[in-house]
Amino acid sequence: MSPLAQEPISIAEDNNLIINNTDEVRESLIDQLIYSAVFGSGKKKGDARWIIKKIGQKLGVNFASINVFYKKRAKESSIKPFTVPAFNIRGLTYDTARTLFKTAKKLNTDAFVIEIARSEMNYSKQNPEEFATCVIAAAIKENYTWPIYLQGDHFQAKAKSPGIADVGEMEALKKLISEAVAEGFYNIDIDTSTLVDLGQKTIQKQQLPNILATAELTDFIRTTYTSPNYPTISIGGEIGHIGGKNSTAEEFEIFMQGVESETQGAAGLSKISIQTGTSHGGMVDDNGNILDVEVDFALLKNISLIAKNKFNMAGAVQHGASTLPDNLFRMFPKNLTAEIHLATGTQNIIFDHPLFPETLKKGMDSWVLQNLQKERMPGWNNEQTIYKLRKKTWGQFKKDLWEIDANTKKAIFADLQKRFIFLFAELGISDVKTQSQN
């Protein structure tokens, strides 16, 4: 029998999980299981994760690769303009994924990505297994059986010096990729743009460390995960560090020619992340108001066209966009943007919600000011420091956030769903189904 409940599930002698009451699983058991899977200790946590995964398998939860869909987008110009949103979930992952699945079912689409970056895994205290388990539990709860695109975002190399990765970084990234793929992350965004050496005189020499590192990790993925047990993993590359100087079409072409040469014809990249003028999280003025930025939409469109026509890719990817003015989101599909990454906007809706517990908010803000002074940039006042660094509180206050009063969370996530509905509509993914276009 199950160590956690005799009903509505049981475990047979052959270790096979049996679902006796699907409605009861969704109504209450999955809530108990996911709490144990995140906050339990030892065997209790492991048992809960195992059971959730088994229930997911039984009920049709399906992690998938978006690679085939993206390759089809590269070839067909008749598909209506849309941009796939990729949502970084830094915390309250179960609740946030549930809200995304509700939105997707309401708008009849599966053309979205759920992701977490390497850095986010660290400060939010979510490893690939926990993150994937939360997403599975959310899909079970919401009876969501369409493909789920789970993505490792910014699997980023730390640089020892310009053009040189820190000691052990490539092996660390391979280990992280392996951990992620094992949990169903069949979409991996390689980010070795941190190795671009702008001190070199030519673009080819500047991009060469990025080219070689991207090719090495691409080859690792392609040679390691080629069995029938795995789909062809969608791999993204990156040519411009987000927040730095804007990318150019010449940089992109040189980068792609180099990667294709180094990977010797293996199934290549499906998309490319570029810098267009934004920064992660946006910036705020002295009063805490988000500053306007200029997005180079012409650059997005130009690189997307080159990506489609010359390299059989879906197009360019926009990062650092969730805090942009609302009237700009419709511009991304019009300018052929393949994918847009959204993180801080979701965080802001939760943290700044009028019903967010005031005592918890004050504790989080105080923790930032007391513990993150070394990360504070010169000239930042307290409001700017809190805004830019409060993402680091997700892990520190993980349990407090999870245990916010149920009615308060219901109100917060109702407003978050309104935002998701807006984004899905503006980005053009309503009624877009990836399966029907594969």
CB 263 within 8 A of CB 222: yes
Query: The tokens of 318 are what?
Result: 């926009």
Q: What is the pLDDT of residues 253-263, one digit of tens each?
A: 999 999 999 98
What is the DSSP code (8-state) at residue 324? S
Evaluated on CA atoms 424, 425, 428, 431, the torsion sign reads positive
Residue with tokens 């303009």: 81
Q: What is the pLDDT of residues 178-232, one digit of tens each?
A: 999 999 999 999 999 999 999 999 999 999 999 999 999 999 999 999 888 899 9
pLDDT of residue 397: 98
CA distance 256 to 81: 24
Return all residues near 252 (Cβ < 8 A) that are at least 6 apart. Answer: 239, 272, 274, 303, 306, 307
pLDDT of residue 321: 83
CB 316 within 8 A of CB 66: no
Q: Which amino acid is it at 204?
A: Q
Q: What percent of the chain has pLDDT above 70? A: 92
- CA 166 remoteness from chain centre: 24
Q: What are the chain's domains?
A: 9-59 (no CATH), 63-350+408-437 (3.20.20.70), 357-402 (no CATH)
Give the H or E element holding residue 81: none
CA distance 71 to 74: 5
Mean pLDDT of residues grouped by 10 in the chain (438 residues)?
65 92 96 98 95 97 96 77 96 98 98 98 98 98 98 96 95 98 98 94 96 96 91 94 79 95 79 79 52 81 95 93 90 96 95 98 98 95 95 98 98 98 97 75
pLDDT of residue 289: 53
What is the model's pTM?
Answer: 0.93
CB 382 within 8 A of CB 323: no
Q: What is the pLDDT of residues 117-175, one digit of tens each?
A: 999 999 999 999 999 999 999 999 999 999 999 999 999 999 999 999 999 999 999 99
DSSP string, 96-113: HHHHHHHHHHHHT----E
